[in-house]
Structure 1
Amino acid sequence: MVVKTGNLTLEIPVQITSYRLFIDQCLEFAIENSSLGNDFKRTAKFKLAIMELLTNAMKHCKVVSYIDIQCYPDKVVVKKIDSGQRFTFKDVDTDQHYDFPIDPFTEPSKINARLGNNYTLFINIKTKNQIEFLEPPVIDYLSIDEVPENFGLMIIKQCCDTFHYNYNKVLSQNIFEVIFKL
């Protein structure tokens, strides 16, 4: 754990034996360094987003990853950083496959992206290295068997104000960035 004024970085091992330790450290730091703790609902959403980022780290990246929290007067920024497999998706309408960096990148565009076998989510392709996850439509699953593989992305988006994926080509890093406005 590395703590600087307004900044916390936690190393997340490939296998996590206790979510609670990480969630508690993140929450304690955010409460001590921002006004996030003044709102019970925001605090609960923050904890849920941290839990989903930890699940993503364990389930998808298969390498040591990091949770980085930065507190500012107007927001709390949480980043999950790893050097595992890059995030990919397909455009539902055109069946075009996207990988990062997106080449050729022409202009920002919103698409309905297929993220797994049975899951789509609206995204905004902002740059060749960044997408923003958009608010999903109302979803009604009749069975737990219908819950998609990438359901955690939707949970995170519903918990926060802004949710991005960035690919840092120079460092070969995946960065999921979650922003909570205060």
Structure 2
Amino acid sequence: MKFLPVTIDLEIPNDIDKLYDYAKRVLANILEHVELDVSQQQRIKLILVELVTNSIKHTSDPNTQLQLIIDHPHLSIQKMEKGLQIQFSASSPQIPFENIDHILKISFSQENKHQIQPLDQYRFRFLNPFKDEGLSIDHMPEHFGLYIITLASDSFIYQYDPQLKENRYIVNIDL
């Protein structure tokens, strides 16, 4: 094991065919610094696949970056990309949030509903919408990528910087 904390900056592939090899390489890089059980490895691979898939589908920024911060007992996976802020459906509250004291229900489409907790005008935490229903990550359809990240992580935060026009997706995992 190496000294912690460790920060690793990575580029994200823009080719879907490279996705699984990329996730395996990143996981191998993490394993050089901390030991993970099989469940943790599976969760991290799911998160990596969904973050990269989201980037390939929704980002035109060729310089999208992934940053790993390994500081046992925590792992932070951050995706940074330039562009427009995250867009919700027209019926959802929009960024910048005016009321940050309430849990909000937002959606990206008719079938896709999320619960979020605004942390400030440009930052929010995704909440587990199925926590009380006992639904696990094993039963989620693949096209619900943000749900998958929410369920696989211990904390999932989105942040937008309007000056830099930068989106940041911050995934935290307790090791």
Q: CA deviation at 1:13?
A: 4.1
**How many equivalent pairs are there?**
164
**Equivalent position of 2:86 in the other structure:** 87
The one-letter code sitting in structure 2 at the alignment partner of 1:57 is: S
Extract structure 1 runs of 4+ deviating beyond 6 A.
none
Q: CA deviation at 1:43?
A: 0.8
CA distance in 1, matches of 2:93, 2:171: 25
CA distance in 1, matches of 2:58, 2:78: 16
Q: CA deviation at 1:139?
A: 9.4
Is 1:172 equivalent to 2:161 in the alignment? no
Q: Secondary structure at the match of 2:100?
A: coil
Deviations 1:110-146 (A, max 9, x none): 0111122321011111111111000022599xxxxxx
Is 1:22 equivalent to 2:22 in the alignment? yes
**Equivalent position of 1:98 in the other structure:** 94
The one-letter code sitting in structure 1 at the alignment partner of 2:61 is: V
**Equivalent position of 1:143 in the other structure:** none
Q: CA deviation at 1:96?
A: 4.7
What TM-score do you get using the length of structure 2 for normalisation? 0.83
Deviations 1:40-86 (A, max 9, x none): 11110100110000100100112221111110122000011111331
Q: Secondary structure at the match of 1:67?
A: strand
Deviations 1:12-37 (A, max 9, x none): 243343113321221012212223x2
**Equivalent position of 2:65 in the other structure:** 66
Q: Secondary structure at the match of 2:145?
A: helix
Is 1:122 equivalent to 2:111 in the alignment? no
- Structure 1 unaligned regions, length at least 5: 141-146
**Equivalent position of 1:57 in the other structure:** 55
Q: Is the 8 A contact 2:13 2:19 kept in 1?
A: no
CA distance in 2, matches of 1:117, 1:54: 24
Between 115-124 and 17-26, report the one with greater CA deviation: 17-26
Q: Is the 8 A contact 1:118 1:148 kept in 2?
A: no
The one-letter code sitting in structure 1 at the alignment partner of 2:77 is: V
* CA RMSD in angstroms, aligned pairs only: 2.4
Alignment of 1:4-43 (within 5 A): 6-35=6-35, 37=36, 39-43=37-41
The one-letter code sitting in structure 2 at the alignment partner of 1:98 is: Q
The one-letter code sitting in structure 1 at the alignment partner of 2:9 is: T
